Amino acid sequence: MESYKGHNTMNIGFLTPEYPHPKTGKSGGIGTSIFNLARALVALGHGVNILVYGQDDDAYFMEDGLHFYKIKNIKVKGLSLFLTQKKVEKLINNLYDSKKLDIVEAPDWTGFTAFIKPKCPLVIRENGSDTYFCHLEQRPVKFKNRFLEQRALTKADGLISVSAFTGKTTNSLFGLQRDFTVIPNSIDVNLFQPSKNDASNNLSILYFGTLIRKKGLLELPKIFNLVHQANSHVTLVLVGPDSADIKTGSSSTWKLMQPLFSESALKQVRYLGGMAYTAIQDHIKTASVCVFPSYAEALPVSWLEAMAMEKAIVASHIGWATEVIENGKEGYLEHPTHHERYAERILDLLHDPAKRQQFGMAARDKVKTTFSMEVVAHQSVDFYAQLIH
């Protein structure tokens, strides 16, 4: 295993439906976490291949030391998925035969690797399958997705889970007894620098992320109404793309939220829509408190970003949360449906700048030691090396 601690000795592939790059389209949390890990692995001297399926064409390009393969899905009625999987399998095996790939990693989402048989070891990183998120949101999962996810997890040579909660829940949902190694999502701590001026003059609460039911956005108006009753000067700022609501069929979660605010509370709410990664940071800097009342996550990158910027957080007290934040140390954890208690936690921080600073500093320390991309890259390399041997 020692040789893999050296430089340029491992070629790692990431198979993914998304990656944040102008040539590969929009991306969510999975793409962002691969983006951070890939850059850290290149910095350690390893070769990294990004294989993005679901693209508009087949193409190869290289940038910042990363090799990109865009893969266009094959469209044949009833056979599209299987034929695309075989196309990907062929690409992986060609890269392996030409010594450009030693190991490949894919997310568990919808079980894309169910019928892919690579010549090299295949790792699945559990960022939360469709079955997992349906379970947390208490809605039915499509039979096809569940079948593919179960097969993919069973066939994988190794499993990484971004949180112990996600790994245990996944095993239990699929009736698996598989060992998994917890390696969390990571961020570039240098990109998220705390601002030196405290934002205490204008009391503001920030939520950033998609406006969607599973992230507790329909609880947030009820929580904010209570905060507003206690202090009418507080503003609530929402940053992120709007989304349709599965439960009601509404095309906009923001439309569902508005009537839930009291008339006077709504006047203190600013919804700014989706914006560039860098622009969001300006809003994190000026926020007094960040809130994440989510029901369904695996290990949320947005929490890490706010923590790295030394922000006091009030987040959900559900499964994965205690692996990110110790309640009362780096932030407060409260269940999203406990509106009164959640509002009290927010008000406690709004009225106590010293505590905000204390939580914020502890939060950044935690990110540096546990969730920085350098730390996570080393953990990933050790895991890959064991599988390759």
pLDDT in tens, 29-53: 888 889 999 999 999 999 999 999 9
Percent with pLDDT over 70 in the chain: 97
Average pLDDT, stretch 246-265?
95
- Give the Cα separation of 3 and 45 in Å (integer): 13
Cβ atoms 60, 70 nearer than 8 A:
yes
- Give the Cα separation of 140 and 148 in Å (integer): 15
Asked if 364 and 377 sit in the same domain, the reply is: no
Asked if 210 and 346 sit in the same domain, the reply is: yes
Asked if 307 and 162 sit in the same domain, the reply is: no
- Expressed as residue numbers, the domain containing 130 is 2-186+372-388
- Token look-up 């509370």 returns 265
Cβ atoms 50, 92 nearer than 8 A:
no
Average pLDDT, stretch 342-349?
97
Asked if 234 and 289 sit in the same domain, the reply is: yes
Average pLDDT, stretch 297-326?
93
**Number of domains composing the chain:** 2
pLDDT of residue 99: 95
Asked if 162 and 214 sit in the same domain, the reply is: no
Asked if 264 and 126 sit in the same domain, the reply is: no
The encoded tokens of residue 75 equal 């469209």
Asked if 350 and 380 sit in the same domain, the reply is: no
- Token look-up 């040789």 returns 3
Amino acid at 189: V
Cβ atoms 77, 46 nearer than 8 A:
no
Question: Quick one: pLDDT band at residue 1, thresholds 50, 70, 90?
Answer: very low
| Residue 142 dihedral angles phi and psi, to the nearest 5° | -65, 140
Residue 333 neighbours by CB under 8 Å, 6+ apart: 314, 315, 316, 317, 321, 322, 325, 327
- Give the Cα separation of 75 and 205 in Å (integer): 46
Question: Quick one: pLDDT band at residue 200, thresholds 50, 70, 90?
Answer: low
CATH number at residue 141: 3.40.50.2000
- The Cβ of residue 274 has, within 10 Å, a number of other Cβ atoms equal to 14
Asked if 212 and 140 sit in the same domain, the reply is: no
The packing angle between helices 373-388 and 29-43, to 10°, is: 80
